[in-house]
Amino acid sequence: MRMDINLDSFDINGPGLEGKLFGLPFTPETSRLVILPVPWEVTVTYHRGTVRGPEAILRASRQIDFFHRELADAWKMGVSMAELSPSLLETNDQLLVLADRCHENPDNAGPLIEKINEACSNLNVFVRNQAAEFLAQGKLVAVVGGDHSTPLGLMRALAEKHDRFGILQLDAHADLRKAYEGFLFSHASIMYNALKMPAVSKLVQVGIRDFCEAEYQVIQRGGKRIQTFFDDDLKHRQNEGTAWKTLRDEIIRELPEKVYISFDIDGLDPRYCPHTGTPVPGGLEFHQAVDLIRAVAVSGRTIIGFDLNEVAPGPDDDWDANVGARLLWQLGCWTGVSNRWLTYTPLKG
């Protein structure tokens, strides 16, 4: 699966290599895990900036000290980011102009919405094909957006490879709208679209605290296929004395054997991501999110892929990108554990 690579000369205590994800000496050809950057925010509905997320995370990731106390030589797993496509950035910018026209004149937006929907459909095909190519090489694939519409192509590629899997969604929003503002592939519709795939046997949502009535009805009608852990319920139970471990274990029990993790960074408390497109008060603590991801891996379940979205760097600071880079590192490491690439040694005490 992985080409031979000489790692002896790499300084694991140094700053890492310029332009490389986490500063690690890997390429997509020599990696077990390939990150696809998808700079796209065409259907954004509030603040913009997530299109710069992949590049900002790549830049911030070099500052991470990647020693992991529970995972010996975690860095040797092999992870890298595929080349960022300038054409995606150009297309995104062109379509944002059309999206602005739709908002300015909604009564006559029909033809423009159709054009945007077609372009978003083409993006899904592009991501699906890119993911399928790496999957065929025996690698695991993840997506870094961009807005939360970006990983649909990866989910489709995984649905062609796996008969059944569940999605663990960490998010402030339910993302179950049929077509927000007429956009079929809106960031607010990613889970609605994902549930169209028969291979998605379960959707487990965590941290949800901003949703419309129609989305709540979708959840209610979803039966056992959709299990939502609303943020206010989690907070109430914690306030009443329920330990996070108890809540975490309840979440894990809802997941099937194969799990795809979809992480919208606004699932965290917004102090960790103040510049994200649609921040909402409340949410998970950083350590709770990492603990949940870790629990998926050590439960014996297999993480078959993941995405990290809605990271928007600030105009004068890299805080969101730094948090995003560390989330990406944790997602990659625990994916490695779940696929038996890394040996997990729990801390004592």
The predicted-structure confidence for 32-91, as pLDDT tens digits, reads as follows 999 999 999 998 877 889 999 999 999 999 988 888 999 989 999 999 999 988 899 999
In a domain, 242, yes or no: yes
User: For the residues 280-294, what does the mean pLDDT come to?
Assistant: 98
Instruction: Quote the pLDDT of residue 4.
Output: 58
In a domain, 1, yes or no: no
Cα–Cα distance, 61 to 333 (Å, whole number): 14
The boundaries of the domain holding residue 83 are 33-338
Flag whether pLDDT at 1 surpasses 50: no
Q: Do residues 97 and 91 make contact, with C-beta atoms less than 8 angstroms apart?
A: no
- Among residues 189, 170, 211, 178, the alpha carbon closest in space to that of 308 is found at 170
In a domain, 156, yes or no: yes
Q: How many domains does the chain have?
A: 1
Q: Indicate the helix (H) or strand (E) that contains 102.
A: helix 86-104
According to the 3-state scheme, what is the secondary structure of 256-307?
Answer: CCEEEEEEEHHHECHHHCCCCCCCCCCCECHHHHHHHHHHHHHCCCEEEEEE
Going from the C-alpha of 129 to that of each of 110, 135, 245, the distances in angstroms are: 29, 10, 39
Q: What is the pLDDT of residues 315-340, one digit of tens each?
A: 888 899 999 999 999 999 999 999 99
In a domain, 272, yes or no: yes
Going from the C-alpha of 340 to that of each of 197, 210, 304, the distances in angstroms are: 27, 36, 12
**DSSP strands (E only) in the chain:** 33-38, 79-81, 140-145, 165-170, 200-208, 226-230, 258-264, 302-309
In a domain, 24, yes or no: no
In a domain, 11, yes or no: no
Flag whether pLDDT at 272 surpasses 60: yes
Instruction: Please name the residue that has the structure tokens 């917004």.
Output: 270
CATH number at residue 162: 3.40.800.10
- Among residues 258, 255, 188, 250, the alpha carbon closest in space to that of 218 is found at 188
Cα–Cα distance, 154 to 160 (Å, whole number): 10
Structure letter (DSSP) for residue 143: E
Instruction: Quote the pLDDT of residue 170.
Output: 98
Q: What is the pLDDT of residues 145-176, one digit of tens each?
A: 999 999 999 999 999 999 999 999 999 999 99
In a domain, 125, yes or no: yes
In a domain, 325, yes or no: yes
Q: Judge residue 145's burial from the number of C-beta atoms within 10 Å of its C-beta, 0-12 exposed, 13-18 middle, 19 or more buried.
A: buried
Q: Which residues contact 242 (CB under 8 A, 6 or more apart)?
A: none
Question: Rounded to two decimals, what is the model's pTM?
Answer: 0.96
